Amino acid sequence: MKELFVANHPVGVESRVEEVIQLLKDQQQENPLLLGIWGMGGSGKTTIAKAVYNKIFREFEGRCFLLNIREVWDQDNGILHLQQQLLSAIYKTTKIKIENTESGKSILERRLGQKRILLVLDDVDKLEQLNSLAASQPCPKEEFASLANEVASYCERLPLALEKKLKISFDGLSDDRNREIFLDVAFFFIGMDKNDVTDILNGCGHSAEIGINVLMERCLITVDTKGKLGMHGLLRDMGREIIRESLPMKPEERSRLWNSDEVLNVLSKDMVRISSMFSNSYNNNDIL
């Protein structure tokens, strides 16, 4: 393996390289170590990374330096190309083929764990890039275990909540009426009897039996052994936020309200408006 070209005139690089190497030595351990170099464009991040790579790559069984991640990522099949390039560099073969990006993640996680490797990812600007190219570390360090448990507890064991993808299931509802039923449950019907809710929704013109069954199949709502409707807390919050975002500064024009302060404020304004209308009507009649 040849050294990488660093720069024509690498002034001031050596001291920074030594700092990075010292950081790596201070953190030496059995588990994978992730070290990031952050800074504005043109500040020499890639130059330093290349110089560090040249200093230490011989200490590893496998090594790979992937350049221009951000640029390649947005090209056609860019993710797949990077995954294949990484695998080929580590195992010195092109015989291991990756069919798609998801299988690529699995292959890389399994294969990269078999060797002590040095992997440098240049120009990373998205967390997804790390997830797709660097094998995950599912077990948090001991000092972060408590925090990890708190996060998992907050998300109520719903993994997609961590990736902010909860709305995917809602957007996947092809029938607008089912979306309306979901929102109605999120606002008003959690904890209520399914049959009662069905009657109410049917009275509003919905096909409630079908809609509720669709939402249950999509795991957007649940029905317990007592027939009570339930919904994951974060899904409930998402539904309420969808309505709030539609008219953030005009609660009186939203289709639904749940915040007690907003409800009282809107009702108070309506009472003032209605009172004014009656007053004007009375005065006009009095004049006539």
Q: Please write the tens of the pLDDT for every residue from 57-109.
A: 998 888 999 999 989 998 888 999 999 999 898 888 777 788 888 888 888 88
Closest CA to 183 of 226, 227, 241, 259: 241
Cα 278 to chain centroid, rounded: 52
**pLDDT at residue 287 is higher than 60:** no
Stronger pLDDT, 239 or 272, i.e. the higher one: 239
**pLDDT at residue 156 is higher than 80:** no
Residue 183 included in any domain? yes
Residues in the chain: 288
| 48 and 97 belong to one structural domain | yes
Task: Name the band, by pLDDT with cuts 50, 70 and 90, for residue 140.
Answer: low
The runs of H, that is alpha helices, within the chain are 13-26, 45-56, 69-73, 78-91, 101-112, 127-133, 142-154, 167-171, 176-184, 194-203, 208-217, 233-246, 260-287
| 119 and 17 belong to one structural domain | yes
Q: CA-based angle 12:17:23, to the nearest 5? A: 140
Cβ neighbours, 10 Å, residue 6: 18
**pLDDT at residue 152 is higher than 50:** yes
The 10s digit of each residue's pLDDT in 183-236 is 999 999 999 999 999 999 999 999 999 999 999 988 889 999 999 999 988 889
Distance CA 115, CA 108 (A): 11
Q: For residue 66, what is the enclosing H or E element?
A: strand 62-66
Residue 288 included in any domain? no
Least confident of 101-115, 133-147, 272-286: 272-286
Closest CA to 193 of 219, 225, 218: 225
Percentage of the chain modeled with pLDDT above 70: 82
Distance CA 185, CA 238 (A): 12
Closest CA to 31 of 140, 119, 152, 111: 140
Residue 5 included in any domain? no
Q: What is the pLDDT of residue 166?
A: 72
Q: What is the pLDDT of residue 288?
A: 44
Choose one of 83, 113, 133: the last residue of a domain: 133
Distance CA 8, CA 80 (A): 33
The 10s digit of each residue's pLDDT in 244-269 is 988 988 888 998 988 888 888 888 88
Task: Read off the pLDDT of each residue in 37-42 and give the average, rounded to a whole number.
Answer: 73
State the helix-helix crossing angle for 45-56 and 13-26, rounded to 10 degrees. Answer: 60
Stronger pLDDT, 168 or 225, i.e. the higher one: 225
Cα 60 to chain centroid, rounded: 33
Q: Which domain holds residue 207?
A: 167-257
Distance CA 35, CA 49 (A): 11
Q: What is the pLDDT of residue 120?
A: 93
**pLDDT at residue 142 is higher than 70:** no
| 75 and 175 belong to one structural domain | no
Q: Please state, rounded to an integer, the average pLDDT across all residues of the chain.
A: 83
Split into its structural domains, the chain has a count of 2
Distance CA 282, CA 90 (A): 87
| 251 and 188 belong to one structural domain | yes
| 20 and 129 belong to one structural domain | yes
Burial grade of 287 (CB within 10 A; 0-12, 13-18, 19 or more): exposed
Residue 47 included in any domain? yes
| 60 and 111 belong to one structural domain | yes
Q: What is the pLDDT of residue 223?
A: 92
